[in-house]
Structure 1
Amino acid sequence: MTLSIAALACTIAGSAMAAEKTLTISVYSFAQDAYKKALYDPFEKICGCDLVIETGNSVERMAKIEANAADPVIDMAVISSQDALSLARKGLVSELDTSKLSDFAKLYPAAQDPIGGNMAVGYTFYASSIVYRKDLIDIKSWSDLLSEKLAGNVALPNITTTQGPLTLMMLAKASGNETGDYSPVISDIGKHADDIVTFFSRSSELAQLMNQEEVIAAPVGRFAWSRFKSSPLPFAWAEPAEGQAGGMNVMVMTKGNGNEELAYQLMDYWLSTEVQTRIAEALIDSPANMDVKLSDEVADNLTYGAELINSLNIIDPADILDSREGWVEQWNAEVIK
């Protein structure tokens, strides 16, 4: 009887320990059902743990990490490279031991140390270009967005969105300005503000406007292309003379969370060729792992392949952080009047 009670106590204790083996991650709200099937559920079976998934917009997620710096409630986060750099500058994320990432050498070089100091690792790239109605307009340049032919039928991203700074960069490039000073571009957008249908904050909002035929051209991230490609309307992805903009989302580990080994295990799994392939084939994210091989049909929906990735125009995350406040101030004064 005594042995039975002891055995039962051990079983209960073991179950309690298993239940306590949890990893809390902060992620984009995008495609969570698909992520559950392709990533979360398979990982939980491998690690024998529970994943706690927290979503929200970037501002909310960043604020939660900062507010709980002394006793982290988030173990790992996937965020933009500029947001990762912001956290790193505040001492809120840990330097990564890349020797614990078995497929690290398979990542595109740009993804291996995207913000410096091994404070983050890239897991997906995205291209940005202009989606347009090919039966109504032909897009040859980013400058077409502010042309007379699109007046009253174009939408631009708000400056505070991911696409905002990328659009400024490409409009500047189209005007011959590659100095990194985007104030002339913001002024130019301000002069054309009455010709712009809306300054959108979400790709879903834009898709609705384009499907209602209120907008016929706008900058779009490749991750949202499927919304337009599946439409009965004849949308096309532009290949402007200046090229495509691009960006990267990265993984970071919060400093002092006490759950580092489990976080490394998820990072390693997420970056593996197997999982990056599965996520890409589900059209969730574009792979940062160079060994991923995709069919032409799948690749057409993603930012895929060395030739494309190496050609992307990417803003240095430090430039975005150091300039963002000034951009927003000028935007509010000259564009959102």
Structure 2
Amino acid sequence: MKRSIKTELATLLSAAALAVIGAAADATSSQAATPLVLACYPGAPETFFREEIIPRFEKQFDAKVTYLTGNSPGTIAKLQAQKSDPQIDVACIDDGPMVQARGMGLLQATDPAKLTNLKDIQEVSKLPDGIGLGWGLFRFGLAYNPDEFKKRSLPPLESWNDLARPDLKGHVVVNSISISYTPILLTMLARANGGDEKNIDPGFAEMQKIRPNVFTYDTTADLTPYFQQGEAWVGVWTDSETYSYVQRTQFPLKFVFPKEGTTAIQTAAAVVAGAKHADLADKFLNYLIGAEAQELMAKKLGWMPVNKKAQLPSDMAAIIASPEGSGDNMVSMDWTLLGQQRPAWTERWNKEVETQ
């Protein structure tokens, strides 16, 4: 009996020793992991990063990622406050505010040698001076209800100018000028008629032709109620929002890129100036624009990939017309000029377009 107790005691002590050794090994492994602080968006993007991107990245690069939630203005404010002693390594900032953050010296260029996936992304997602990269696209175009078109034997949409077609009278929804989509619409209408953001007059002239077709100027950027109620046959929207809407509701909506070209707003990310873990930050951005991460993003968030090698989910490809070719038809805009001109355009829009 005593011998048995001694044997059991020895076994327990051995197990305890192994547990201590194992715990020490885990602690050593945890300490060895390189930290990375990521400031990025709340909501669905946060869930996507925490469940899909961060675990894969941590495993592949022996890293430990801390996620700080915030929108673009909030993140920029943090970067300003921490400028002398940065606590964030990678910041997600929309491409418009990214211009501001870049100009304030809050961001730094990535190391091209570490960006092996850079060659595979859309040109529009390669931001100036190597500072920041786009990682999710929201491309502009025309969402429409194919059932309404079929019932009335309407020809397909091909151009931005199709918004003025008489057969669409009273069934077009356009955002109000208070929504950032509308300055983009004005610019694309201008480009379709010989102008651009530097010469916006053709855009306003075309909008006068479109006015009779518009039944409302939406102030929410959410066109879903108008399509559901049957009022809207056509709306100016993004491919990502169209896809997400169809996924949620199974509503028969389609999306087309006008032949004159399109542009996009995009979610972007950059290495913070003076980041303590800049090397790992570069690797994180490279991973984020890789085909695997981009395909996960398209599947989980419904955002359009910036990586040209990423395969779209089959149901997405069925909703979004010719996604492969749209990259060749992308146009870059002078976002700084758009920001500067917006007050004047808003005043003009309110007088000439969205009048009572």
Q: Same fold (TM over 0.5)?
A: yes
Deviation at 1:214, TM superposition (A): 3.7
Identify which of 132, 135, 148 aligns with 1:123: 135
| Structure of higher CA gyration radius | 2
- Tell me if 1:317 matches 2:317: no
Letter in 2 for 1:299: A
TM-score (norm 2): 0.74
* In structure 2, distance between residues paired with 1:335 and 1:72: 46
Contact 2:108–2:270 (Cα < 8 Å) also in 1: yes
Deviation at 1:332, TM superposition (A): 5.6
Contact 1:120–1:250 (Cα < 8 Å) also in 2: yes
SS state of the match for residue 136, structure 1? helix
- Tell me if 1:275 matches 2:275: no
Identify which of 67, 72, 88 aligns with 1:52: 67
- Tell me if 1:198 matches 2:217: yes
* In structure 1, distance between residues paired with 2:308 and 2:23: 49
Letter in 1 for 2:37: L
* In structure 2, distance between residues paired with 1:49 and 1:303: 40
With over 3 angstroms needed to count, the CA separation of the structure-2 counterparts of 1:93 and 1:148, relative to structure 1, is: same
* In structure 1, distance between residues paired with 2:145 and 2:300: 26
SS state of the match for residue 323, structure 1? helix
Higher normalized helix content (fraction of residues): 2
Within 5 Å, which residues of 2 pair with 1:40-119? 40-46=54-60, 47-56=62-71, 58-111=72-125, 113-114=126-127, 116-119=128-131
TM-score (norm 1): 0.77
Match of 2:345 in 1: 327
Deviation at 1:49, TM superposition (A): 0.6
Within 5 Å, which residues of 2 pair with 1:81-230? 81-111=95-125, 113-114=126-127, 116-137=128-149, 138=154, 139-146=157-164, 149-159=167-177, 161-178=179-196, 180-182=198-200, 185-186=203-204, 192=211, 195-202=214-221, 205-230=222-247
With over 3 angstroms needed to count, the CA separation of the structure-2 counterparts of 1:239 and 1:252, relative to structure 1, is: closer
With over 3 angstroms needed to count, the CA separation of the structure-2 counterparts of 1:134 and 1:187, relative to structure 1, is: same
Percent of aligned pairs with the same amino acid: 21
Letter in 2 for 1:105: K
SS state of the match for residue 141, structure 2? strand
Contact 2:174–2:214 (Cα < 8 Å) also in 1: no
* In structure 1, distance between residues paired with 2:348 and 2:275: 38
* In structure 2, distance between residues paired with 1:68 and 1:147: 53
Contact 2:256–2:321 (Cα < 8 Å) also in 1: no
Tell me the matched-pair count: 328
| Superposed CA RMSD | 3.9
Match of 1:291 in 2: 309
Match of 2:254 in 1: 236
